[in-house]
């Protein structure tokens, strides 16, 4: 195997943030609490470090002692924060990318002006990226991954068959948790567009989140009707 993580997809090398440059590489509850306190936003709604680590250990308990594949479908595609040995284009059947995460905690929206982000939901299919983590680095890198993705309730971890050009691998991914306050599967198109236009937080604007997704998908060559429809609708509203 090549030592170049981008051996199979050299076109992705300049499109994915280096781990050392990622905001999320050293992300922690302490860092988050400081940011939210400075902005006068509510704190304490998150998982404790002990809870988060217990969820991580449970999710990985049946993973064999081999490299770990992670399937990314949203911002994790271009800013994974983890160190990986290989990246591959992939498709997952039975799950679809949906904009049903209503951000109210300050990342890209607040309770007064919610933001919107993508989650993986059941049904359809989803194209994204697979990142391969060396088995010797699983403990360190999944700790970073969990601190990025499991700040508070929103997802649950699952292993899914991910199809790439050379076959299928069992990959870890994060699916919408319908019991979480942030997951709102019945959002109307009007509400989605409103949250995209008005949502803003310490990670940036929801509108920029969608623009980045649309731009990156175009560069990656990924077609997504939902992204295209939301992007077109948002542009009509902000003109």
pLDDT at 65: 76
Each residue's pLDDT, cut to its tens digit, for the chain (239 residues) gives: 578 999 999 999 999 999 999 999 999 999 999 999 999 999 999 999 999 999 999 999 988 779 999 999 999 999 999 999 999 999 999 999 999 999 999 999 999 999 999 999 999 999 999 999 999 999 999 999 999 999 999 999 999 999 998 899 999 999 999 999 999 999 999 999 999 999 999 999 999 999 999 998 998 888 899 999 999 999 888 76
* C-alpha gyration radius of the chain: 17
Given the residues 86, 141, 149, 194, the one annotated as active site: 149
The answer to whether 197 and 187 are in contact (CB under 8 A) is no
Q: What is the pLDDT of residue 13?
A: 94
**Catalytic annotation present for 149:** yes
pLDDT of residue 193: 97
Name the 3-class secondary structure at 59: helix
CATH of domain 10-238: 3.10.490.10
């Amino acid at each position: 195997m090549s030592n170049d993580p981008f051996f199979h997809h050299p076109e992705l090398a300049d499109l994915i943030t280096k781990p050392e440059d990622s905001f999320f590489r050293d992300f922690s509850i302490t860092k988050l609490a400081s940011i939210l306190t400075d902005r006068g936003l509510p704190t304490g709604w998150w998982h404790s470090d002990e809870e988060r680590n217990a969820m991580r250990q449970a999710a990985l308990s049946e993973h064999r002692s081999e490299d770990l594949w992670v399937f990314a479908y949203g911002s994790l595609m271009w800013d994974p924060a983890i160190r990986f040995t290989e990246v591959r284009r992939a498709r997952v059947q039975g799950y679809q990318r949906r904009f049903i995460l209503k951000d109210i905690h300050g990342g890209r929206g607040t309770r007064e002006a919610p933001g919107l982000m993508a989650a993986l939901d059941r049904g359809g299919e989803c194209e994204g990226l697979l990142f391969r983590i060396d088995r010797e680095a699983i403990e360190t890198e999944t700790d970073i991954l969990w601190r990025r993705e499991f700040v508070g309730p929103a997802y649950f971890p699952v292993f899914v068959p991910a199809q790439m050009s050379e076959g299928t691998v069992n990959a870890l991914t994060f699916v919408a948790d319908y019991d979480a306050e942030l997951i709102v599967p019945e959002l109307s198109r009007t509400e989605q567009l409103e949250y995209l236009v008005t949502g803003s937080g310490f990670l940036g604007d929801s509108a920029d989140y969608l623009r980045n997704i649309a731009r990156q998908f175009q560069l990656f060559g990924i077609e997504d009707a939902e992204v295209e429809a939301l992007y077109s609708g948002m542009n009509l509203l902000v003109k």
